[in-house]
Structures are given as C-alpha cells and as structure tokens.
Amino acid sequence: MHSALDTPAAAAAHFTGLAATGERPLSSALTEVTLDDGRVVMVKRADDDRAARAEAAGLRWLADAGTVRVPELHGHDAHWLVTDRVATGRPGAEAAERFGRDLAALHAAGAPAFGAPPPGGPEDAYIGRAPMRNTTGPDWPGWYAAHRVLPYVRLAVDEGTLSPAEAAVFERVCERLPELAGPAERPARLHGDLWNGNVLWGADGHVRLIDPAAHGGHRETDLAMLQLFGCPHLDRVLDGYRRHTPLADGWTARVGLHQLFPLLVHAVLFGRGYAEQALTTARTALRH
C-alpha cells in the first residue's frame, strides 16, 4: 500500500499542519523541509512500518523521561517520520557534563525488563539498518547473549564474515557472561544506538539525541557505544554521569564486553574489518 504522502514536503505539511515552502535533500533518506512559518523540520524516509514505529516509539519513550532532550516528533506513518531540526553548535565542556548527568537520569528512568521495547514499539525493530529483536529476558547476561550477541554472530557466519571457529570465541564469552558481567543491575532505559553521530550538540548548549534503537538494557552498553567511535569531551560526559549515578566497580574493564553488540552489528552491515575488531575484543574479554 503506497502512502498518499509521496514527497518529504507533503509529509511535513501533513504532520505539522503547515505548508511546505522548500526542500533540501541531505541523503537518500533524509530531507530538510522549510515550513511557511520559517521553521525547518527533518523528514526521514522509513524502510518499512516497523522502522518508523520503532523510531517514533523510542523518541517518545526517551522524551517521557524528561531527561536528555530529543527533537520534537511531529508524526509518522509507514513511510515517513517528521521531527524538528536541531540547530547545532560547537561541543562544549559544560554541555558535555550536563549531557552526562541527563544520560544517567535517563537510564535511571528504567524499563520493565531487559529487552523491553518502548511502549507502542514493535518487538522486531532495527539498529541502524540491521534487525534487532526486543525480546525480554529476566537477567542481563542471559538476555545479552541470546538477543544481542549470538544472533549477529550467526548472521556473520551465514554471510561468511566469521568462520565457525571464530564464532566459538563469542560463544565462550557468552558462557562466561554471568561471571564477567559485574554486579546485577536493574534494566535501564537505553537510547540503544548511542554513537557520536546520534549525539547533536545544540546551539543552545543542550545535547539532543536522534535515531534511537531504544530498549531496556544495561546502562554500561550506552556508555560503551559512546566510547566506541569517540565523542567530544568524553571525559566530561563520564564525569557528569558518575556525579549523578556512580558506576559499579570494574566498569572500565567491561567496556569491551558491551561493545561486542555494536561491533557485531557493524560486522553484519559492513564486513570483515569490524568482525576482526569484535574478535579482538572478545578474546580480550576472555583473558579477564
């Protein structure tokens, strides 16, 4: 079934109630649309209805916590998602520390279970362009192994990106997760895809988060992903976080464990280089 909203401008007008006066494509999936009151919104083309529902539900769930800011969501359908554009500025140390505090408060807002999707979000969701199942589990080590590590190992083996012998390295990590995972934690409300590209430094001094793959998880996973690809003023972000909510002893030694998930997702999407990085990380975890 095709949407009657066949252009980004039509989608923007439908969900904001204002006429669109201009379009500026940023990529094949993202367009800036100017409205007749001068505001600019971002219109994202969704791959399918589940992708749009998952992202919209995630943005609402993060916003409901009243902590880290997200762009206002104007609406979505099976093909389009319309949000405010964020006016960006330079990353600053003060904004970084505030972001850390707000992120800790977001995590503390909690989730019903590990793997719980946002209210209204589909169980079969996405992280980037990779499938991600939000199936719940009673404890983090078992859930993380079953739903965040092993599915991507299997996909990578099927694609020939990992060999069966290499897959066994990740299986050994999963077997040892109960002892490697550190103290038990309550399910946190995660952004879920917290790499630097999804962190927008607002011109007003407040960070906004975009493109969530939100679910209930372990708070160290968001922090590990933030560290994986670098983040401006990361030390200040972590300082702000720990001032709000201390991290459990040994958290720095567990960063690689939590990075296995995004590294394996990248291996599935982008190939062997990330598979090798994930293998190195898994082998390092086994030495602990």
Q: Which CATH topology does 93-286 take?
A: Aminoglycoside 3'-phosphotransferase; Chain: A, domain 2 (3.90.1200)
- Domain boundaries of the chain, sorted by first residue: 8-84, 93-286
Identify whether the C-beta of residue 217 lies closer than 8 Å to the C-beta of residue 252. no
CA distance linking residue 96 with residue 254, whole number of Å = 23
pLDDT in tens, 134-152: 999 999 999 999 999 999 9
Q: What is the pTM of this model?
A: 0.94
Tokens 């972001």 sit at which residue? 99
Cβ(147)–Cβ(221) below 8 Å: no
For residue 254, what is the DSSP state?
A: G
How many Å apart are CA 118 and CA 55, to the nearest integer? 9
Q: What angle do CA 275, 177, 105 make, to 5 degrees?
A: 90
Q: Where are the alpha helices (DSSP H) in the chain?
A: 8-16, 49-64, 93-108, 140-144, 150-158, 164-180, 219-228, 234-244, 255-270, 272-286
154 in Cβ contact with 142 (< 8 Å)? no
Active site annotation includes 239 = no
Q: Which of 193, 222, 235, 249 is catalytic?
A: 193
Alpha-carbon distance of 219 to 192, in angstroms, equals: 9
CATH of domain 8-84: 3.30.200.20
**Per-residue confidence in pLDDT tens, the chain, 288 aa:** 345 678 999 999 999 999 999 999 999 899 999 999 999 999 999 888 899 999 999 999 999 999 999 999 999 999 999 999 999 999 999 999 999 999 999 999 999 999 999 999 999 998 988 999 999 999 999 999 999 999 999 999 999 999 999 999 999 999 999 999 999 999 999 999 999 999 999 999 999 999 999 999 999 999 999 999 999 999 999 999 999 999 999 999 999 999 999 999 999 999 999 999 999 999 999 997
Q: Evaluate whether 85 touches 105 at the Cβ level (below 8 Å).
A: no
The residue among 93, 94, 74, 46 whose CA lies nearest residue 211 is: 46
Q: What b/e readout covers 136-166, taking b as 16+ CB neighbours within 10 angstroms?
A: bbeebbebbbebbbbbbbebbbeeebbeeeb
Strand, coil or helix: 74: strand
Number of Cβ within a 10 Å radius of residue 185? 16
Amino acid 2: pLDDT: 42
Q: What SS3 string covers 98-164?
A: HHHHHHHHHHHCCCCCECCCCCCCCCEEEECCEEEECCCECCHHHHHHHHHHHHHHHHHHHCCCCCH
